[in-house]
């Protein structure tokens, strides 16, 4: 995803920032934009029109690295046409493999990993900035230009991860888990509410662990108890929670009206042997019992998960266990990734036994099994009147509104396309009511009601 912010003509050079990867990367990019704006830089909507192009890379898995390399090659081509253009490469991939990148992209003028985002103005200005010892974690005092639609925003509550999943490079890139203070998060949410934001999406690499490094028990629960009292915020959602982190107090606070009945729980696999090699818990049977418990406590809850196919040792029997799990668990939303060997992880030492074409075939098979499940879940809403958070308007005179329901997280789930009755005029409120008239496996269609 590319985040480009257009600004007024600046007294200094114009910057184009390309943000790749996840929502957590996007927040770092938004902070960099805030730092640059505070320093007096202007912004260009397109890299072609910029004096300096900043690429915030992702290095989590091979496809993300390939995307970063394609992006850098494209920016390098622009520099060859205009040698005055400067390139700054930043972020996870730089942190992970800077020497190799420097060798392959000598045209890049400056490199910085994940530790000096708040010094991007000096880096862009050509100054040498010592890399701090720890990964950068912003606070409510950090300048930030929110680039998401004005109705919702991400709030990153921590950085890094202290778990040691066998396949994951995040601890190697970002270091151990570090939480923001609860007061810092609350103050940022209060500020966003004052700007008209209606939905807050709490994000981190392990949101259910919030506060644990500070000695806080049930930290996420206590944070949500504070945030439901913030005036102006209508929806609260937390993304990427470990299944083992679903405590009874957390499920209890999720019954609060402001908190979306939505859970993002990456199970990763279902076969016991594969999960053991992954250093993950909750094999298929235990995971199904957890989902049953959650659905009884929170009727109507939507559940998203992420799964990995092609992990070393995943034979057809193990994949069959995963396929059965998908059919039995009946997730509302599903993301499937092909295993990518990552240097420095425990799994990197294991032979990559599943060929790439077979990994892709298994990924498609899981998604094909999921499609009718998602379709049935979406069709269950037909005829219902649902609250929809509007993100944009399309068509003549804004005749179609694009938004999401409480059971659709931004950027990863589907959308609702809502038709506006003729003569009604432009939508003036971000939260509307819509009757759902049709559903696909991904998106919904509805019509606006009073």
Where among 337, 354, 379 does a domain terminate? Answer: 379
In this structure, are 352 and 395 located in the same domain?
A: no
Q: Is residue 118 part of a domain?
A: yes
Looking at residue 394, its pLDDT comes to 87
Q: Is residue 191 part of a domain?
A: yes
Contacts of 222 (CB under 8 A, 6+ apart): 182, 211, 216
In this structure, are 304 and 368 located in the same domain?
A: yes
H runs (alpha helix) in 175-305: 182-194, 219-227, 248-253, 272-278, 284-297
CATH number of the domain within which 412 lies: 2.40.50.140
Where among 379, 403, 428 does a domain terminate? Answer: 379
Backbone phi, then psi, for 174, in 5-degree steps?
-100, -15
In this structure, are 29 and 102 located in the same domain?
A: yes
Structure token pair of residue 194: 């004052």
Q: Is residue 400 part of a domain?
A: yes
Rounded CA-CA distance 389/198 in Å is 8
In this structure, are 108 and 59 located in the same domain?
A: yes
Please state the domain count of the chain.
Answer: 3
In this structure, are 102 and 212 located in the same domain?
A: no
In this structure, are 426 and 305 located in the same domain?
A: no
In this structure, are 248 and 392 located in the same domain?
A: no
Rounded CA-CA distance 226/152 in Å is 18
Place of tokens 């209060």: 190
Where among 106, 124, 142 does a domain terminate? Answer: 124
Q: Is residue 9 part of a domain?
A: no
Q: Is residue 389 part of a domain?
A: yes
In this structure, are 332 and 363 located in the same domain?
A: yes
CATH number of the domain within which 55 lies: 3.40.50.12160
Rounded CA-CA distance 216/198 in Å is 28
Rounded CA-CA distance 205/161 in Å is 6
10 contacts 46 by C-beta, under 8 angstroms: no
Q: Is residue 147 part of a domain?
A: no
N- to C-terminal Cα distance for the chain? 35
Looking at residue 396, its pLDDT comes to 76
Cα torsion at 128, 122, 46, 90 (round to 10°)? 50
Rounded CA-CA distance 245/437 in Å is 37
Looking at residue 6, its pLDDT comes to 38
CATH number of the domain within which 356 lies: 3.80.30.20
Structure token pair of residue 283: 């094999």
Place of tokens 């098979």: 365
The domain of 403 spans: 385-449
In this structure, are 32 and 91 located in the same domain?
A: yes
Q: Is residue 437 part of a domain?
A: yes
Q: Is residue 290 part of a domain?
A: yes
In this structure, are 191 and 164 located in the same domain?
A: yes
Looking at residue 428, its pLDDT comes to 65
pTM: 0.94
242 contacts 206 by C-beta, under 8 angstroms: yes
Parts of the chain with a pLDDT under 70? 1-12, 397, 423-428
Rounded CA-CA distance 321/319 in Å is 5
59 contacts 95 by C-beta, under 8 angstroms: yes
In this structure, are 96 and 158 located in the same domain?
A: no
In this structure, are 192 and 299 located in the same domain?
A: yes
Looking at residue 8, its pLDDT comes to 39
């Amino acid at each position: 995803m590319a985040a480009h912010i257009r600004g007024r003509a600046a007294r200094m050079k114009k910057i184009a920032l390309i943000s790749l990867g996840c929502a957590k990367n996007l927040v770092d990019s938004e902070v960099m934009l805030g730092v640059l704006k505070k320093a007096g830089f202007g912004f260009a909507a397109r890299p072609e029109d910029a004096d300096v192009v900043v690429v915030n890379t992702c290095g989590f898995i091979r496809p993300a690295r390939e995307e970063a390399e394609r992006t850098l090659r494209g920016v390098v081509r622009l520099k060859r046409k205009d040698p005055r253009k400067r390139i700054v490469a930043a972020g996870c991939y730089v942190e992970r493999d800077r020497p190799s990148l420097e060798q392959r992209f000598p045209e890049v003028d400056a490199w910085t990993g994940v530790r000096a985002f708040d010094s991007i103005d000096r880096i862009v200005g050509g100054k040498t900035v010592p890399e701090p010892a720890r990964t950068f974690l912003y606070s409510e005092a950090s300048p930030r230009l929110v680039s998401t639609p004005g109705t919702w925003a991400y709030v990153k509550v921590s950085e890094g991860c202290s778990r040691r999943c066998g396949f994951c490079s995040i601890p190697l890139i970002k270091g151990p888990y570090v939480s923001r203070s609860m007061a810092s998060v609350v103050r940022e949410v209060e500020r966003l509410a004052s700007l008209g934001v209606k939905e807050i999406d709490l994000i981190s690499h392990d949101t259910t662990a919030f506060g644990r490094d500070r000695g806080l028990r049930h930290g996420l629960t206590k944070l949500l108890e504070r945030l439901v009292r913030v005036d102006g915020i209508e929806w609260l959602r937390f993304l990427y929670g470990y299944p083992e982190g679903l405590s009874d107090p957390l499920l209890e606070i999720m019954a609060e009206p402001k908190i979306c009945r939505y859970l993002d729980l990456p199970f990763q696999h279902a076969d016991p042997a594969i999960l053991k090699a992954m250093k993950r818990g909750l094999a298929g049977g235990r995971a199904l019992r957890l989902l049953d418990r959650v659905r009884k406590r929170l009727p109507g809850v939507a559940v998203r998960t992420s799964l990995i196919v092609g992990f070393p040792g995943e034979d057809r029997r193990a994949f069959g266990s995963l396929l059965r799990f998908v059919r039995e668990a009946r997730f509302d939303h599903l993301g499937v990734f092909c295993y990518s060997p990552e240097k420095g992880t425990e799994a990197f030492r294991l032979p990559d036994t599943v060929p790439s074409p077979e990994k892709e075939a298994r990924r498609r098979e899981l998604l094909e099994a999921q499609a009718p499940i998602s379709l049935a879940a979406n069709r269950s809403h037909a005829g219902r009147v649902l609250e929809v958070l509007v993100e944009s308007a399309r068509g003549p005179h804004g005749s179609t509104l694009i938004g999401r329901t409480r059971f659709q997280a931004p950027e990863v789930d589907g959308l609702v396309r809502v038709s506006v009755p003729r003569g009604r005029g432009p939508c003036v409120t971000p939260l509307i009511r819509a009757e759902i008239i049709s559903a696909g496996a991904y998106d919904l269609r509805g019509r606006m009601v009073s």
